[in-house]
Amino acid sequence: MSDTPNGGAVQAPALAATNESTNRTPQAPSRDQNVTAAIPEESSKLSPAELKKRAKAEKQARRAQAKSAGPSSNQEKAHPPKEGKQQKDQKAAKDPKQGAKDDKSKALPVRRRPSQPNPPAPKEIKKETKKEQKPATGIFFGHLYNQPRQHSVVGASKEVHPAVLALGLQYSSYIVCGSTARMVSMLLVFKAVIQSYQTPQGTSLARHLTSHHLSPQIDYLRSCRPLSISQGNAIRWLKDIIIKIDPSTPEFDAKRELLEEIDNFILHRITVADKLIADNAAEKIKPQDVILTYASSSIVEKTLLQAHEKGIPFSVIVVDSKPLFEGKRLAQTLAKHGIPVKYSLVSGIAHAVKDVSKVFLGAHAMLSNGRLYSRVGTALVSMLAFSRDIPVIVLCESVKFTERVALDSIVGNELAPAEEILSQTERAALLPLKAHIPCRPNADSKDGEEAEAGTGEVISWFKDVENLQMLQVLYDVTPAEYIKMVITEYGSLPPSSVPVVHRMSTNI
């Protein structure tokens, strides 16, 4: 946890913090202290106050991307966010190469945040943040509002590896999205990190690598987007094998060993597991089946394509939701392979589910009480399928299993920036309302000068209304009784057996 603004103190708690982070919910790290300092510490020379200011500036700069600028309060401290943005673009462009070089090039699903197809160049002027305006943010997820999101590399610790910086930005902009993809990409990047690691004198790799070299990377990634369960599991595993390395092993050998282990991990826990799952699940697809799937899951895609290759005639209904529209790409891929595909949004789910014979879902995580933690809306789909007695089948690698339990979707979740709710087109559609927007407290001044700001202004209408909140979370929890079957690489099991498999898979 990078919460400690005091650079001197970093070292000691870092290990503990990272350890802790692995088994903690990736979504809701309850930051009980020093809430404001979201930025990984580069920062031993900065005073806490300065840090705070900087954190705030970061936040504001990020906001400025999405909304038109407002009157500025503390301009002098502002980092030029443009810089950050450019950097980000560069990195983003650079990264595919990296990924390719690093591995047997796993194609990572790429999803873009449609609300920002071309993020408007952020203005230098800043606005009061929403949080300052509305102290009582979020009646539901107030406990989650303390997770600021890193949207630039500015302020990242020096220790953070450039590849990690790039990846972090891809996380925060949903370019790399989906828990498998995030985990794999993280491990691949860690390979680069490990490769570039040199054990300092007087300590051993096993002791030093995790706490001093990996932790800042992990912290940075977490600051970009809360870690997924699978990432947490992978990190825990990685730390485990690092610790187990005999301190007497020469650094070169140790590193090679580690890299091999990581490759093996990816191979066994993901690549092979996916194949097993897809084989298993494709068996369940019978001719004339209508398979419904929600959003996008790489393993569901694999399964469907595999069944299609086997020559089974079936059709697919892809149900999708705003704002990520992940299913669109899936629908396109499937259609390209010649599978008849229907595409519908979550509001039309009651219709979509009518002719369906099976529901295949991907998972973000399987919780130990048998519940499925997945893209928000999954619970709705499962509920309607369940009420029509359509089997709901979850495809999930065991690496996504967690001992965490949850009853509802509120306690633990990942909050997405609220302004992502409104896509550009939606904002544009609201422009005619301009004359009717009733009370805009500080709108009058900027009205004249920024009338052309257009869509950016719309979001400020929402923000300016005192009692209005926009809420967006990324996941929900599907009750176990809706789920008929979980297919893992260990075979098919009822949701009640999730903890069993989790124990097995972590004890190996």
Binding site for another protein (CB under 8 A): 138-140, 318, 321-323, 328, 331-332, 335-336, 340-352, 375-377, 379-380, 383-384, 387-389, 408-410, 413, 421-422, 425-426, 429-430, 432-433, 436-439, 461-462, 465-473, 475-477, 479
- Please say which residue, 157 or 478, places its beta carbon nearer to another protein: 478
**Smallest distance, another protein to C-beta of residue 16, A:** 32
Pairing of strands 341-345, 475-478: unpaired
Q: How far apart are CA 301 and CA 281, in angstroms?
A: 11
**Smallest distance, another protein to C-beta of residue 336, A:** 7
- Please say which residue, 39 or 361, places its beta carbon nearer to another protein: 361
Map tokens 């009061």 to a residue.
Answer: 128
Strand positions, DSSP E, 86-185: none
**Smallest distance, another protein to C-beta of residue 417, A:** 13
- Please say which residue, 99 or 323, places its beta carbon nearer to another protein: 323
- Please say which residue, 169 or 318, places its beta carbon nearer to another protein: 318
- Please say which residue, 289 or 426, places its beta carbon nearer to another protein: 426
**Smallest distance, another protein to C-beta of residue 431, A:** 10
Q: How far apart are CA 147 and CA 223, in angstroms?
A: 8
Q: How far apart are CA 167 and CA 91, in angstroms?
A: 8
Amino acid (1-letter code) at residue 338: G
SS3 244: helix
Token digits for 241?
């094998």
- Please say which residue, 183 or 381, places its beta carbon nearer to another protein: 381
**Smallest distance, another protein to C-beta of residue 107, A:** 19
**Smallest distance, another protein to C-beta of residue 118, A:** 15
Q: Do residues 281 and 487 make contact, with C-beta atoms less than 8 angstroms apart?
A: yes
**Smallest distance, another protein to C-beta of residue 385, A:** 11
293 forms bridges with which residues in the sheet?
A: 318, 360
In degrees rounded to 5, what are phi and psi of residue 467? -95, 10
**Smallest distance, another protein to C-beta of residue 317, A:** 8
Q: Which of 470, 463, 458 is nearest to 415 (CA)?
A: 470
- Please say which residue, 136 or 508, places its beta carbon nearer to another protein: 136
Omega before residue 391 within 30° of 0, cis:
no
- Please say which residue, 49 or 439, places its beta carbon nearer to another protein: 439
- Please say which residue, 249 or 469, places its beta carbon nearer to another protein: 469
**Smallest distance, another protein to C-beta of residue 458, A:** 9
Q: Which of 123, 69, 36, 191 is nearest to 459 (CA)?
A: 69
Q: Which of 319, 315, 277 is nearest to 299 (CA)?
A: 277
**Smallest distance, another protein to C-beta of residue 110, A:** 16
- Please say which residue, 197 or 314, places its beta carbon nearer to another protein: 314
Amino acid (1-letter code) at residue 154: V
Exposure class string for 161-177: b at 16+ Cβ within 10 A, else e: bbbbbbbbbbbbbbbbb
DSSP 33-88: S-TT--S----TTS-HHHHHHHHHHHHHHHHHHHS-----S-GGG---HHHHHHHH
DSSP 167-212: HHHHHHTTSB-SHHHHHHHHHHHHHHHHHT--PPTTS-HHHHIIII
- Please say which residue, 268 or 440, places its beta carbon nearer to another protein: 440
Q: How far apart are CA 45 and CA 165, in angstroms?
A: 22
- Please say which residue, 149 or 463, places its beta carbon nearer to another protein: 463
**Smallest distance, another protein to C-beta of residue 367, A:** 14
**Smallest distance, another protein to C-beta of residue 176, A:** 21
Pairing of strands 315-320, 290-294: parallel
Q: Do residues 417 and 324 make contact, with C-beta atoms less than 8 angstroms apart?
A: no
Cβ within 8 Å of residue 249, ≥6 positions away:
205, 257
